[in-house]
């Protein structure tokens, strides 16, 4: 008893010290994201000087520079911040729900469904709801980026609902979720292949270009829609952080703490998938952010969701910002697909995770 009492002050101090370190890490990430976002405004292929960029930011000086800052770069940077945060926190939640460090926003086939929806819109409807045709003129006349995004989102949502229904037929455990996601994702991929097989050169080219992750298609409207969905999901995940922490110890342990595991898993997977669906439907496929962000933050500050949720969001934003800035500066006049950059970063990271011996079932 005396020994236990003598250790309590040390444990308390040690706990406070760990929390302080985690808070410092998050503050550093916030500063890094802000600095990177500000620097990204002045980097690109337009040869804009710093003074010209600052003037354009305050809407003074050359009209072309003002247009570049306010109509092109600012919506793009906001999209990187929002989508990076959303995809990263979605990956974190899926890894917790499925007890699988390889889980990511593509685990449930959400991205596959979005690709099929976009391909259907572009190839069958020439990018719109009513216009059809297989030549350049009719395709250009019918293009409606919002309709393509809407159909991609609808099919993503349909995929989520289908998987949740399949899981409800069986017990809603993590093995069933993974298998259902693989099966449904394979169906969407096969359907996309069949659709592209019958497409013309114009249709398939437009569809393939859409598949590339591209932040250049972002607007203030799309940024606002993504921000609302990501913020709503982040609030729910934060309020459920103690339940997610309990889930790290296993389903049985979480049940013993009063957590409704099936409901928690269903709701959190649904929200994570919806965040992914919205981001993918507007921006295309941006891979590996949901793997890179969560794993970096877990190694920095541990698995405690009170800190890993905001930390993973900041890390995802930072990684996607850096990738997009590189894609704009290395493209020599035309931005490289940011999805390709994140995949080049993520592939070796994925291999490193495979050979890592660190466990994922504990948090500090």
pLDDT tens digits, one per residue of 231-256: 999 999 999 999 999 999 988 899 99
CB 318 within 8 A of CB 36: yes
pLDDT-derived band at 362, boundaries 50, 70, 90: very low
Cα 149 from Cα 115, distance rounded (Å):
10
pLDDT of residue 14: 64
Per DSSP, 212 falls in state: B
- Tell me the C-alpha to C-alpha distance, in Å, between residue 314 and each of 33, 267, 304: 7, 23, 15
- Supply 157's token pair: 């949502």
Q: Is the pLDDT of residue 309 over 50?
A: yes
pLDDT of residue 331: 64
Q: Is 100 left (phi over 0), alpha (psi -120 to 50) or beta?
A: beta
Nearest-5° Cα angle at 115, 231 to 138:
115
Q: What percent of the chain has pLDDT over 90?
A: 42
Cα 207 from Cα 155, distance rounded (Å):
16
pLDDT-derived band at 80, boundaries 50, 70, 90: very high
pTM comes to 0.87
pLDDT digits (tens, 9 = 90+) for 156-172: 989 988 888 888 777 66
pLDDT-derived band at 201, boundaries 50, 70, 90: confident
Cα 177 from Cα 175, distance rounded (Å):
5
Domains and CATH numbers, the chain: 75-354 (1.10.3470.10)
* Closest to 193 measured CA to CA, from 277, 119, 282, 118: 119
How many other C-beta atoms can be found within 10 angstroms of the C-beta atom of residue 23? 12
pLDDT of residue 357: 53
Mean pLDDT of the chain: 84
Q: Find residue 95's DSSP bridge partners.
A: none
pLDDT of residue 187: 93
């Amino acid at each position: 008893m005396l020994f236990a009492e003598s250790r309590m002050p040390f444990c308390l101090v040690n706990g406070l010290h760990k929390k302080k370190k985690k808070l410092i890490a998050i503050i550093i990430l916030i500063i890094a994201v802000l600095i990177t976002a500000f620097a990204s405004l002045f980097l690109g292929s337009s040869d804009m000087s710093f003074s010209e960029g600052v003037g354009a930011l305050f809407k003074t000086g050359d009209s072309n520079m003002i247009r570049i800052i306010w109509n092109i770069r600012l919506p793009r940077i906001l999209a990187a911040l929002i989508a990076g945060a959303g995809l990263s926190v979605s990956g974190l939640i899926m890894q917790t729900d499925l007890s699988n460090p390889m889980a990511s926003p593509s685990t449930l086939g959400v991205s596959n469904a979005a690709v099929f929806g976009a391909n259907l819109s572009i190839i069958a409807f020439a990018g719109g709801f009513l216009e059809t045709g297989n030549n350049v003129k009719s395709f250009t006349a019918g293009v409606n980026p919002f309709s393509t995004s809407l159909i991609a989102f609808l099919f993503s949502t349909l995929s989520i609902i289908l998987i949740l229904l399949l899981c409800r037929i069986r017990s809603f455990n993590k093995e069933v979720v993974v298998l259902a996601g693989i099966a449904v994702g394979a169906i969407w991929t096969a359907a996309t292949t069949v659709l592209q097989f019958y497409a013309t050169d114009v249709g398939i080219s437009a569809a393939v270009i859409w598949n590339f992750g591209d932040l250049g298609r972002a607007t203030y409207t799309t940024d606002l829609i993504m921000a609302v969905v990501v913020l709503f999901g982040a609030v729910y995940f934060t309020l459920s952080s103690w339940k997610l922490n309990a889930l790290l110890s296993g389903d049985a342990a979480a049940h013993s703490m009063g957590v409704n595991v099936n409901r928690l898993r269903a709701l959190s997977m649904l929200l994570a998938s919806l965040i992914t669906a919205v981001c993918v439907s507007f921006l295309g496929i941006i891979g590996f952010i949901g793997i890179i962000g969560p794993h970096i933050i877990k190694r920095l500050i541990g698995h405690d969701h009170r800190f890993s949720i905001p930390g993973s969001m900041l890390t995802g934003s930072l990684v996607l910002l850096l990738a997009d800035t590189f894609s704009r500066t290395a493209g020599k006049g035309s931005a490289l697909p940011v999805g390709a950059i994140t995949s080049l970063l993520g592939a070796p990271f994925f291999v490193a995770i495979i050979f890592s011996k660190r466990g994922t079932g504990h948090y500090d």
